[in-house]
Structures are given as structure tokens and as C-alpha cells.
């Protein structure tokens, strides 16, 4: 790892009035959660293409809900990695907006286990660990233990995970939060995101045009590398703890 770049990143973070954290699948991939793209990506899995589509919920709800249940149980077995914990420590004492493309709850777990609080981590594509009624949109405080047996108290509709499926619009609130933060952020941390999937493709550029410095942490070059001010080639689970140490 390039020591000068780490130091530069730590200085920018230390000076920043507001930080926008933009997290992608790379952050959770280090915990073992499969990513969507790439050779072994979930997009090459026919079940994902079939059930992660809004049509499946309409056409074969029982099978789709059973699949969501399986996915949630599978993802629930993973643990936060050092990147999640370091990010929690970096953000706990600072004015941070965290926008993630991940549908897991590893960041929430990391904050909790570090004994830190964070008022909301914004899930741009929703979360598998929240749920709502598919008919009236009523959110549930606690996701059901079994999706296939749950129904809405208000209208009797089926209960689904609050994630954005293929063929659905992204939820507006997290996007607006990220967009708002992009206007005021001094630093944007780009963590394990390819910059291809909307809105990762637009928010960092917006922040930059409003004067933010972009820090990219990613083992691979991405669509965002060219516009980043500091590019650190490495895993978030290794780089973020180094930056956290420099800030301590
Ligand atoms: Zn309902």
C-alpha cells in the first residue's frame, strides 16, 4: 500500500466537514457475500435472474418468497469484516452520510458491535433485512421469520423484503439523501463500487462538481478511477483499518 496516499486520504477525511460514503459490493464481498458482477457473480445464476425480478413476485409468489427466505438466511450467516468495523469507527465521530448499494446489514452490525450509533445507513437498493407489504407498502418493524407464511395486518397482502427487484424503481428517499450529501460533502469515499450501476454512476460526479475530493479504495480500476483525486488500490478490509489508525 502506498503510504503517501493513505496519509493524503486521512488528511482529507480529518479536515472534511461532511463525508459521503458510497459503498458497493466490494465492501461486503470481503466478508464472503457473493457479488452480482464478475465471473462468479450472481448475475450468472439463473435463480437470481428469475426470482430477483418483480415479475416472479406476481407470477409465482410462493416460489419467489421461498427464494427470498433462502437468500436472507444465507446472507445472515456472514460477519462484518475489518473494513466495516474501520468504517464504523471513522464515521462514528464525524458528520457522515453513508449510502450503500448492498442489501445486507453488515455495516449496521459493525456499528452495533463497536458500541457506536449511526442514525441511518441509506440503502440505495433497499435491504433484505427490512420488509414491507407488497400491496399497501406498509413497512414491518421486524421482518417475518418466514416470508412464505406472513401476511399484512392491514390488507392481507404478501410480505416481501424491502429490496429493489429487477423491473422496479429505486426507492427515492436514500437517493435524495445521497444527492443532498453530494452537494455539501468535502470528501466522498468510494468503497468497492464499480461506478457502473446507477446511482453510483452519477452521485460521485455530482459531488465532485460541488467541490468534493473523491477517494477511491478498490483493488481494481473502475469507471470512477479517472475522476478520483486519490486512488488507493487495495481491499477495503485492509485499507480502511490503516486509515483509521492514521486518524486515531
Ligand atoms: Zn398491506
Predicted confidence (pLDDT) per residue in 49-64, tens digit: 888 899 999 999 999 9
* Grid cell at residue 181: 450529501
Answer yes or no: are the C-beta atoms of 187 and 181 closer than 8 Å. Answer: no
Known active-site residue 125: yes
- Let me know if the fold of 1-33+80-125+169-248 is the same as that of 34-77+128-163: no
Band of residue 198 on the pLDDT scale cut at 50, 70, 90: confident
Fold for 1-33+80-125+169-248, please state it.
Rossmann fold (3.40.50)
Catalytic residue among 18, 84, 123, 125: 125
Task: Determine whether the annotation assigns residue 96 to a binding site.
Answer: no
Mean pLDDT score, 80-98 = 95
Going from the Cα of 68 to the center of ligand 1, the distance in angstroms, rounded, reads 18
Please tell me the distance between residue 159's alpha carbon and the centre of ligand 1 in angstroms.
8
The verdict on whether residue 136 carries a ligand-binding annotation is yes
Residue-range domain boundaries for the chain: 1-33+80-125+169-248, 34-77+128-163
The whole model's pTM is what? 0.92
Taking the centre of ligand 1 as the mean of its atom positions, its distance from the CA of residue 132, in whole angstroms, is 8
Region 134-138: what's the mean pLDDT? Answer: 92
Q: Is residue 133 a known part of a binding site?
A: yes
How far apart are the CA of 183 and the centre of ligand 1, in A? Answer: 36
Q: Write down the H helix ranges in the chain.
A: 3-15, 25-29, 46-51, 54-59, 61-76, 82-92, 106-113, 172-184, 203-209, 236-247
> What percentage of the chain exceeds 70 in pLDDT?
96
Residue 42 has pLDDT above 80, yes or no: no
CA-based R_g, the chain, Å: 18
Confidence of residue 20 (pLDDT cuts 50, 70, 90): very high
Average pLDDT of the segment spanning 140-158: 90
Residue 210's pLDDT band (cuts 50, 70, 90): very high
- Please give the helix or strand (H or E) that residue 188 lies within, else none: strand 187-191
CATH number for 34-77+128-163: choose from 3.30.2010.30, 3.30.1600.10, 3.90.1300.10, 3.30.200.20: 3.30.1600.10
DSSP assigned state of 34: P
The pLDDT score that the predictor gives to residue 89 is 95
Q: What's the 7 CA to ligand 1 centre distance in angstroms? A: 51
Mean per-residue pLDDT of the chain: 91
* Separation of CA 158 and ligand 1 centre (Å): 7
Is 155 annotated to bind a ligand? Reply is: yes
Compute the residue count for the chain.
248
d(CA 208, CA 214): 7
Span 171-179, average pLDDT: 94
Question: Does residue 211 carry a pLDDT above 60?
Answer: yes
Asked whether the predicted pLDDT for residue 138 surpasses 70, the reply is: yes
Higher-confidence residue of 149 and 13: namely 13
Most confidently modeled range among 25-39, 110-124, 164-178, 196-210: 164-178
pLDDT of the residue at 17:
96
* Overall average pLDDT of the 179-185 stretch: 96
Amino acid at each position: 500500500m502506498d503510504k503517501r496516499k493513505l496519509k493524503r486520504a486521512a488528511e482529507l477525511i480529518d479536515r472534511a466537514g461532511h463525508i459521503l460514503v458510497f459503498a458497493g459490493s466490494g465492501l461486503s464481498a470481503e466478508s464472503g457475500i457473493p457479488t452480482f458482477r464478475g465471473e462468479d457473480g450472481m448475475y450468472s445464476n439463473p435463480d437470481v435472474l428469475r426470482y430477483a425480478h418483480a415479475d416472479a413476485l406476481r407470477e409465482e409468489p410462493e416460489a419467489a418468497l421461498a427464494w427470498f427466505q433462502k437468500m436472507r438466511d444465507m446472507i445472515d450467516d456472514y460477519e462484518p469484516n475489518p473494513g466495516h468495523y474501520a468504517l464504523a469507527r471513522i464515521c462514528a465521530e464525524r458528520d457522515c452520510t453513508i449510502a450503500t448499494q448492498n442489501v445486507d446489514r453488515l455495516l449496521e452490525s459493525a456499528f452495533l458491535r463497536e458500541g457506536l450509533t449511526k442514525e441511518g445507513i441509506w440503502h440505495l437498493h433497499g435491504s433484505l433485512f427490512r420488509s414491507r407489504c407488497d400491496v399497501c407498502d406498509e413497512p414491518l418493524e421486524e421482518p417475518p421469520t418466514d416470508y412464505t407464511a406472513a401476511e399484512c395486518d392491514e390488507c392481507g397482502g404478501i410480505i416481501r423484503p424491502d429490496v429493489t427487484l429487477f423491473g422496479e424503481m429505486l426507492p427515492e428517499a436514500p437517493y435524495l439523501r445521497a444527492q443532498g450529501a453530494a452537494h455539501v460533502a468535502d470528501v466522498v469515499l468510494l468503497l468497492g463500487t464499480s461506478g457502473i450501476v446507477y446511482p453510483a454512476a452519477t452521485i460521485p460526479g455530482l459531488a465532485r462538481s460541488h467541490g468534493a475530493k473523491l477517494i477511491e479504495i478498490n483493488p481494481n480500476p473502475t469507471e470512477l478511477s479517472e475522476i478520483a483525486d486519490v486512488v488507493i488500490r487495495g481491499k477495503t478490509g485492509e485499507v480502511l483499518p490503516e486509515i483509521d489508525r492514521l486518524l486515531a
